[in-house]
Each structure stands twice: as structure tokens, then as C-alpha cells.
A and B are shown apart, each in its own frame.
Chain A
Amino acid sequence: MSILVENLTKKYGSQRAVDNITFEVKTGEIVGFLGPNGAGKTTTMKIITCFMAPTDGDVKVNGLSIHNNQDDIKKKIGYLPESNPLYNEMPVLEYLEYAAKLNGVPASKVQERIIEMVRLTGLNSEKHKNIGELSKGFKQRVGLAQAMIHDPEILILDEPTTGLDPNQIVEIRKLIRELGREKTVILSTHILPEVEAVADRILIINQGKIVADGTAANLRKQAQGVEVLRVQISEAENSNTVFNELKNLETVAMIDPVPEEENTFLINSKENVSSKKNIFNLCVKNNWVLTELTPLETKLEDIFRELTTN
């Protein structure tokens, strides 16, 4: 099940919540939507799930357009909205049965699917309670269970791990990764490590536009460009000598002493080369002890901040 979003625009009044975005999600891919609040993530999801019509553009789910084939598309999608709305006065099992029937699960399979979902989301101890009596984490699981009850080929999850404790977050992420093997998943989140842990591909959205698209590793590489190393050397007679010797290495482009730390430097290599080997050899030659040699990666946080602040 592929999702093709073409030139999608949604205006609220004069404000463009989603501004002419285009992307494709292939079958079996887990795509993470990243973006600050109000970036247009939820709006895009609401359009894909046929809750709202776009102002302009189209979404094709497996070739079917949201303008003409709403019912067929809705059947293929499982959706967990951002606020996880549920009928608080209903018992868990009854609600899942309702969701299953409404999603067109054949009557003979309803019970089987409910049992499967209760097992998968770990709701067994809470299944007879009313939804209103559950803790936030369990409500979230009910939300996930109802989204998956008809075994949809596409899962759209708007911030699936909010309100969960760290153990549950790990479980839900594992669950999403497992599901992602055969299903197409789009999830949105604020939590950067989460998107790295779960998603195959990251889409960063800001002010209704896609500002970055790629795997976490790719994004890093693009943002970084050159290698940055943090180097610490001890048992050297003079830090000036060390500085000069390091500076004269042919692969080093720039060197900065780290303030208030003796014999510690940040070294930028020239483009497309690594200085690690040269630094090591230099230390060996001079009988210095190399106590630290750490490549500094650009963090996803930094990329995110750079792309989404103006």
C-alpha cells in the first residue's frame, strides 16, 4: 500500500497549514513526521485519513484518490488521532467490538481479532473496565488496538507514545517496528530519538513545507559535511607544540583548543578525508598518550533546530 501525496495544500482562512507538499510513502516503509507544533503534521494526517478535504492537491492511496474513493481508503487505514478520543463510558471489550464491526470485520472474525488485539497491546488485565477508568497509558493502548483491529494495511499514528511511561514507550515502539515489516506506517512525534529508533525515513515539516526528507544517517551526513574530532592528549611536554604539530597534519583543516581543558582540541578535517589515522601516528611518533579521540556527530536535535527556526 503506497501513499502518494501530491501538491497538497490546506488553508485555514488565509493561513496555509499545509503548503504544497509532495511526498511518497512506499509499501512497508515507516515514515516519521517531525516538526514543531503547528507545522502541519496533524492536518496532513487528517487529510490522508479522509477526515478533511484539502484545499488543493490530492492524496492517492494505492492509486485511489481521496476525492473519489473515501470508503475504500478508510477501510485500509487504521488511525490513532492526536488526542486519542474514546468513549469513556464504554467497557474496553465492547468498544473494540464496536470498532471492529464499524471497520467491516466479518462477524465470525470479530472475537478472534479482539483477542488478538488485547494480547498484542497488553490490555488483558484491564479489558473489563470502562475506558474512562483506565490510566492514560492504557487508554493509548486502546487507541492503538482500535486502530489495528481490522488489520489495516496502513497505520497512521499521531503521536502514539504521548502519555506512556518509559517501559511502555519501548514496548509500543517495538510493536510499531514489528507492524512496520508488513504495513505502511506514518507516525508523527516530537521526540527525536523516537523517530530515529522507529522510522526508516524522516520527514521534517516546518510551516507547512517539507524541509528535510531522508534517513537519519543521510540527514546527518548532509548537515555535517566534514569530520569533527575531539582529541585529548596527555603526557605531552608543551601544549603549544602539540597544537602546532596537529595543525600541520595534512588532513586537518581547522583546530580549536577546548577552553579550560588542557591539551584538548576540536579538530575539523578537510572535506572527504579523515584525520584519525594521522593523529594516532603523530602521537605514537612523539610518545604522547592519546586519551580521547571521539568523532562528534551532529545530533538530530541540531539538524531539527536548524531547519525549523528562522
Chain B
Amino acid sequence: MKEIWIIAKRELKSYFDSLSAYILITVFLGLTGFFTWLYGSDIFFIGQATLQPFFSIAYWTLFFFIPALTMKMIAEEKKSGTMELLLTKPVSDFQVVTGKFLAVLLLVIIALAFSLPYYITVSLIGPVDHGAVILGYFGMILMSMTFISIGIFASSITNNQIVAFLLSLFIGVFFLIIFDVLSANFTGGLGLFFNYLSLSPHYESIARGVIDSKDLIYFLSITTLGLFLAKTVLSKRNIVE
């Protein structure tokens, strides 16, 4: 456990040292703020004190930002050779992968925490459904966990950051859009199957205020699978042929 935290702390700090954390937080708040307050179906247009516009924008912003954060995680270390040094320290492959996962997750949580003033101001305007907001944030975190683990897996199978970025977007698009489209095109069991794989129904049901164990299992199992695959790829160097 301690090792995971040591690795996570270093990774998190490297985001802040390299400005990427500041850029993420600024752009995230800028984009979500713009669409929440100023443009399109903003809350004045809807005429309701709700954070719904915020969440739907945050959803897409994170979808693009998380791959940009995870792409360097393993790919860069493999390329520069620091992975060799890291893995010859008394840490397991799983601790390395989990530490990196935790670092990105913490950064996303920090970015989300900075959006709390939006919540406070909206709640001053009118009556807000607090439960829906809290669950909205909770859903955001679950969704981020899924994409982070996909991103780390993508980063583990290549030495090239750009390839890792594109690959995690590609996988992400399946969960976000393609399974959704497929589920609409098929009926019966296959349709249900794709509907279950698609991320948006699970997210929406949580954002609506319903916590179903089915949805929790969905997010947690994709996260675990992603991390497990990344760990497996990392351990491949160790496999005896």
C-alpha cells in the first residue's frame, strides 16, 4: 500500500511540475463554466437551478483529457528506461500500475473539486437537488476511473505516447458511443448486451439519482480489467517462453 502511495505522489507532483495539471484544471473549468453559465442550454436558458449542463460538458471534457493524462504513464517510462529502474525496486508490477492510476484519479478529483464554486453559486440562485449533484459528481468519478484504467492499459502496450493517446480514445469511443449505437440497432439479447456494455446508460442512471449495484459493478469491473490488463502487459517481460 505504501509503495502505491509513494508512486502516486511522485506522478501527481510531476503533473504539477510540468504545467499539465494547471492546463487541465484551467481548461476544464473554462469549458464547463462557459457552457454552464454563458452559452447554449445554460442554466439561464433552462431557467432551472441545476448542474445538468455542467455534468454533460464535464463528461466530454474528461473523455478527451484523461487519455492526454494517461498516455505518458507507462509508455514514456518504458521508452526512457526508467521503468527498468522502477521495477527493480521492491515494488510489484501491480503497485506500479495502481500508483499511476491513483495519481490521475486524484488529479481529476482535484479538477472536479475546483468546480464546487459552480455548485455553490447555482444553489444560491434557486433550489438545487443536492442528491442529484452529489451523485453527479460520484458518477463523474466512476466514469473517470473507467477511462483512466483504459488509458493506462493503452499506455502499457506501446512506447509511443501519441499511439497510447489515440488508442485510449479509440477504446473510449466504443464505450461512449459505438456500443450505444449498436444497442439501438439490435433487438433482443444482443441489444441488451450492447446496452449493458455502453457507458452512458450506467452513468445516466447514477446521475438521475439511482445507485444500482449493477452500475457500480459495471464501472468497477472495467476499471479492474483495465488495470489487470496493463499489469499483465507489464509483466510480459517476465514470461518464460
Residues of A near any B CB (own CB < 8 A)? 11, 46, 49-56, 71, 74-75, 77, 79, 81, 83, 85-87, 89-90, 98-99, 101-104, 146
Contacts and interface: CB of A to CB of B under 8 A. Distances in A.
B159 to A, nearest CB: 13
Nearest to A50: B88
B6 A52 contact: no
A89 B72 CA distance: 14
B90 A79 contact: no
Nearest to B238: A53
Nearest to A88: B80
A138 to B, nearest CB: 17
B84 A98 contact: no
B7 A102 contact: yes
B241 interface: yes
B14 A90 contact: yes
Contact of A74 (B10, B18, B90, B240): B90
A83 B84 CA distance: 10
A81 B10 contact: no
Interface residues of B, number: 25
A102 B3 contact: yes
B17 interface: yes
B90 A71 contact: yes
Nearest to B7: A102
A85 B18 contact: no
A98 B6 contact: yes
Nearest to B239: A53
A49 B88 contact: yes
Contact of A104 (B18, B82, B90, B241): B90
Contacts of A74: 88-90
B88 A85 contact: no
B85 A103 contact: no
Contacts of A52: 237-238
Contacts of A146: 85
A85 B90 contact: no
A113 to B, nearest CB: 15
Contact of A89 (B3, B14, B87): B14
Interface string B163-180: 000000000000000000
A95 to B, nearest CB: 9
B189 interface: no
B47 interface: no
Nearest to B89: A102
Given A71-B92, A98-B10, A102-B7, A79 B240 contact: no
Contacts of B3: 102
B200 to A, nearest CB: 37
A141 B197 CA distance: 51
B81 interface: yes
13 contacts: A46-B84, A51-B84, A51-B237, A52-B237, A53-B239, A53-B240, A74-B89, A81-B81, A81-B88, A89-B14, A102-B3, A102-B7, A102-B86
A79 B80 contact: no
Given A52-B238, A85-B83, 16 more contacts: A51-B237, A53-B238, A55-B241, A71-B90, A74-B88, A74-B89, A81-B81, A85-B80, A86-B82, A87-B10, A90-B10, A98-B6, A99-B89, A102-B7, A103-B90, A104-B90
